[in-house]
Amino acid sequence: MTTTHATETSTPSSAEPTVPAEAAPAVVLNGVRKRYGDLPAVDGVSLTIRRGEFFGILGPNGAGKTTLIEIMEGLRQADAGTVHVLGMPPWPRNAALLPRLGLQTQKSAFFARLTAREHLATVAALYGLPATAADTALRTVGLTSQADQRVGDLSGGQRQRLAIAGALVHQPDLVFLDEPTAALDAQARRDLWQVLRDLKAQGRTIVYTTHHLDEAESLCDRVAIVVAGSVIALDTPHRLVGAAHAPTRVMVPVGQLSTERAQSLPGVVRVTVEGGSVVLETSTAGPTLAAVGDLVGLDEVQTRTATLEDVYLELTGSEPHS
Amino acid sequence: MSAFAALSAANYKASVRDKTTVFFTFAFPLLFLVVFGLIFQGQEVAGSGRGYIDYIAPGVLSWGVGNAALFGIAFTLMQWRNDDLLRLIRMTPTPLTTVLGARYTGALVIGLVQAVLFVGVALLPMFGLRLADSWPLALPVLLLGVTAFLSMGVVVGSRANTPEAVAAIANSIMVPMAFLSGSFLPIDLMPGWLQNLSRALPLRYMNDGISAALTGSGDLATIGLSSAALAGFTLVFGVLAVKTFRWSNNS
């Protein structure tokens, strides 16, 4: 038997943390509420984010995601409930906690007319760190060759990466990213994914919001889906998709299989013709595929399983981009 | 590098890299000084026995310094809040007082450089300003003037959410005040009721104090009263600044 503390202890049951700060989860929210006037922005949210976790917060615009993150960051005070970040309450402004948190806001916040390196050196100095921290952060996000460009001359993707570098310059344990890949092209988005994966590999906890569900599915250990200020689902993307029992789509080239024949195959719930394919929606992909294989062979057959986006749309009843 | 030094360096670089601001801070007031100085070259203000330049030099100096202090902090605060830079700063362990302190020090340095430039030009033989022995007393008035206009600028920058709003509010404060306080036209030429009205304006006291120190138009009591009045305005606008300050636009 060893007597060392487990790094992932169970969540504290009382309002005050009983575990040492180093062992505390990254974020513990308990019954958190926040309203603006008559409008509840966060309506009783309880969740625990573990150390080293890549945690996604998804939801339609206006669902309360940003407010929720701002409460975790200590930028807003919750009306009710308890908030602990790395074992400490983030509100009121907690100078002991701040150096361990990094945040990238939706707007790219840069000091005017400075170069990328000068901007980061200024941010580093605000944390009491030498200018060399700026070069490390630039390297982390792959902006070393843009170090001497003015912030105003950077491309959209480079600005996003610089904003993330600003969140990392002081090597925080917990990083908050609010829509870091918004308005990026596909290539810039994939480049940024690598940056984010590297951060997780370094053991940092990442809490982020996004409208890109493919991205959340690919990056996140767990996601919380927030609708109207409440968490309506919280699990790994894999289990969320599995639990939704969304149909698998089997696509057979038109002409190989009639819709009538398809309708009669095992497990098939619906048959449509889309884009040159007979599309079979099935709740039991195995038997259906076996039957299709027997009839026409599987060489030109494609399957598409449910994605997080399907689950999300089903749960929120809306388009992800509103 | 300390947070204070880094912020000062960032402020300095942002200022000198913005040619428009450099122009409006230094060349624009100088333009007024040169134009009015040449129009009224060698003339005396009727009934006062003092040259026009004795009015215009301290007047343009006070207005230019006050204008730069107010606009500078107002634009910066509005921009930092819009860009979420204030929130970034708030999430660092550096207190807001250090951030504002760096801006304050920067504004004092700008005011000092402006003063040296404007007085230096006014001393040229073609404009003919002559300094009184009391000229060093202009420094405390200058310092208090920058402080008062800076605190007004914090209020403007906290209320206004766009560059247009900052320019509109700041201009409608500074332009009428410049004329009413005698920055461009000798105050002694104005009707008595306007002279009395101007005593409600901070720029009037800055003009009086700087003028008394530089040209000997007033005595130590004038300088003392001006300094006290500017300190009073600082207190009032400082309280307002603390009350109106916002970290972000939606809070």
* Tokens found for residue B15: 């200022």
> Which of the four pLDDT bands, split at 50, 70 and 90, describes residue A20?
low
Start-to-end CA span in chain A (Å): 54
Computed over its alpha carbons, how large is the radius of gyration of chain A? 23
Q: What is the value of pTM for the model shown?
A: 0.82
CA atoms within 13 A on the CB side of B228: 7
- The pLDDT value recorded for residue A15 is 43
What phi and psi values does residue A229 have, to the nearest 5 degrees? 85, 0
Entry field: residues in chain B: 251
> Which of the four pLDDT bands, split at 50, 70 and 90, describes residue A234?
very high
In a domain, A296, yes or no: yes
Q: Do B91 and A73 touch (CB under 8 A)?
A: yes
CA atoms within 13 A on the CB side of A222: 13
Distance of residue A266 Cα from the nearest chain B Cα, in angstroms: 56
Does residue B128 surpass a pLDDT of 80?
yes
Q: How many domains does chain A have?
A: 2
For an interface test with B, the pick among A75, A122, A175, A207 (most B C-beta atoms closer than 10 Å) comes out as A122
Residues A117 and A186 in one domain: yes
Residues A261 and A138 in one domain: no
Residues A168 and A273 in one domain: no
Q: Do A125 and B1 touch (CB under 8 A)?
A: yes
CA distance A108 to A164: 9
CA distance A303 to A290: 13
Q: Which residue of A has its CA nearest to B248?
A: A75
In this complex, which of A73, A126, A130 lies closest to B94 when CB atoms are compared? A126
Q: Do A103 and B2 touch (CB under 8 A)?
A: no
Is B84 at the interface with chain A, CB within 8 A? yes
Contacts of B89 in chain A (CB under 8 A): 126
Contact criterion met (CB below 8 Å) for A151 and B79: no
Is B12 at the interface with chain A, CB within 8 A? no
Range name among A43-57, A279-293, B192-206 with the lowest pLDDT average: A279-293
Strand order in the sheet with A27-36: A39-49, A27-36, A80-85
Residues A112 and A208 in one domain: yes
Residues A194 and A294 in one domain: no
Residues A135 and A280 in one domain: no
Is B35 at the interface with chain A, CB within 8 A? no
SS3 B55: helix
Does residue B144 surpass a pLDDT of 50?
yes
Q: Transcribe A127-179 into DSSP letters.
A: TT--THHHHHHHHHTT-GGGTTSBGGGS-HHHHHHHHHHHHHTT--SEEEEES
Residues A197 and A292 in one domain: no
Strand locations in A194-292, DSSP E? 205-209, 222-227, 230-235, 248-253, 268-274, 277-282
Contact criterion met (CB below 8 Å) for A145 and A155: no
What CATH code is carried by the domain that includes residue A122?
3.40.50.300
CA distance A20 to B135: 63
- DSSP label at A10? P
CA distance A245 to A285: 11
Give mean pLDDT, residues B80-92: 90
Q: Which residue of A has its CA nearest to B96?
A: A126
Residues A178 and A298 in one domain: no
Task: Measure CA A132 to chain center.
Answer: 30
Per-residue pLDDT of B197-237, as tens digits, reads: 999 999 999 999 999 999 999 999 999 999 999 999 999 99
CA distances, A257 to each of A269, A281, A286, A291, A293 (Å) = 16, 14, 18, 11, 11
CA distance B114 to B27: 9
Contact criterion met (CB below 8 Å) for A125 and B7: yes
Residues A45 and A160 in one domain: yes
Contacts of A98 in chain B (CB under 8 A): 91-93
Contacts of B17 in chain A (CB under 8 A): 113
In this complex, which of A95, A122, A166 lies closest to B10 when CB atoms are compared? A122
**Structural domain of B94:** 3-244
* Tokens found for residue B47: 């009934």
- The pLDDT value recorded for residue A8 is 38
* Tokens found for residue B117: 């430039």
CA atoms within 13 A on the CB side of B33: 28
Does residue A158 surpass a pLDDT of 80?
yes
In a domain, B251, yes or no: no
Distance of residue B90 Cα from the nearest chain A Cα, in angstroms: 8
Q: Which residue of B has its CA nearest to A105?
A: B84
Is B94 at the interface with chain A, CB within 8 A? yes
Q: How many domains does chain B have?
A: 1
Contacting B with CB below 8 Å, chain A residues are 73-76, 93, 95, 98-99, 101, 103, 105-114, 118-119, 121-128, 130-131, 166
Within 8 A by CB and 6+ apart from B86, the residues are: B77, B80, B247, B248
In a domain, B77, yes or no: yes
In a domain, B250, yes or no: no
Does residue A19 surpass a pLDDT of 70?
no
* Tokens found for residue A71: 């409460």
Contacts of A75 in chain B (CB under 8 A): 87, 90-91, 247-248
CA distance B204 to B215: 16
In a domain, B249, yes or no: no
Q: In the block, which residue shows the tokens 């089997």?
A: A250
Given A203, A222, A242, the domain boundary residue is A242
CA distances, A100 to each of A139, B59, B90, B93, B147 (Å) = 20, 51, 14, 10, 35
Residues A56 and A103 in one domain: yes
Contact criterion met (CB below 8 Å) for B216 and B196: no
Does residue B78 surpass a pLDDT of 50?
yes
Range name among A260-274, B68-82, B169-183 with the lowest pLDDT average: A260-274
Is B100 at the interface with chain A, CB within 8 A? no
Residues A56 and A153 in one domain: yes
Q: How many CB atoms lie within 10 A of CB B219?
A: 10
Q: How many CB atoms lie within 10 A of CB A16?
A: 9
Computed over its alpha carbons, how large is the radius of gyration of chain B? 18
In this complex, which of B13, B18, B91 lies closest to A98 when CB atoms are compared? B91
Q: Do A99 and B17 touch (CB under 8 A)?
A: no
Closest CA to A114 of B6, B154, B75: B6
Task: Measure CA A176 to chain center.
Answer: 10
- The pLDDT value recorded for residue A1 is 39
Residues A47 and A135 in one domain: yes
What phi and psi values does residue A74 have, to the nearest 5 degrees? 85, 15
- The pLDDT value recorded for residue A224 is 95
Contacts of B249 in chain A (CB under 8 A): none
**Structural domain of A79:** 27-242
Given A211, A242, A273, the domain boundary residue is A242
Contacts of A125 in chain B (CB under 8 A): 1-3, 5-7
> Which of the four pLDDT bands, split at 50, 70 and 90, describes residue A7?
very low
- The pLDDT value recorded for residue B43 is 85
Does residue B154 surpass a pLDDT of 60?
yes
In a domain, A9, yes or no: no
